[in-house]
Amino acid sequence: MKRIVIFASGSGSNAENLISFFHNSDTASVTQVLTNNPHAKVLDRCKRLKISALSFNRNAFTKSNDVLNILKASEPDLIILAGFLWKFPEFILNEFNNKVINIHPALLPKYGGKGMYGMHVHEAVVANKESETGITIHYVNENYDEGAIIFQTKCKVLPTDSAKNVAHKIHKLEMEHFPKVVEKLLKDH
């Protein structure tokens, strides 16, 4: 049975979707959720779903081995960033080479990089009058949103769409595709 650890910073809808998808799976299970936000809604979701969840500060993540040691103890086969907003430290990436993936709410390389997350992405897509957008699931490297792409899928952006409409379309794509892509990745490795 493969082990998944999720990092999230916010509400945790993608985390809950993954936890639910793998709840009765023979392939994998989500063993832990880690957050950099002690007030993140993902903590409430984990409590309700009976999943171990911890919050940590920047020092524990980037300056000490605290988070690294938690990960080593968890022995994850895959670390998933699901709405996690901090850049992942290289020393942790080196320890879990090709085992850290992220979901991004745009078709990378467009609308990636520092500060490009959530509504910021959708507002930029609408402001630039894009005709399509989508999601990208990719490996994490030392740069924001630049790791090798695993999966992309698209949706139309209508001239009448607001950023909120686009966010809704992206959320549907995430809910539909993210767990299946993770499952395939785990089965293939």
Contact 17, 103 (CB under 8 A): no
* Burial tier of 6 (Cβ tally within 10 Å: 0-12, 13-18, 19+): buried
Q: How many other CB atoms are there within 10 angstroms of residue 52's CB atom? A: 12
Token reading at 182: 């993770």
Tell me the CA distances in angstroms from 162 to 101, 119, 158, 168, one per residue in order.
29, 11, 9, 10
- CA 187 to CA 93: how far, in whole Å? 21
Catalytic pick from 23, 39, 104, 168?
104
104 part of the active site = yes
Q: For 29, phi and psi rounded to 5 degrees?
A: -145, 150
- CA 89 to CA 63: how far, in whole Å? 9
Residues recognised as catalytic: 104
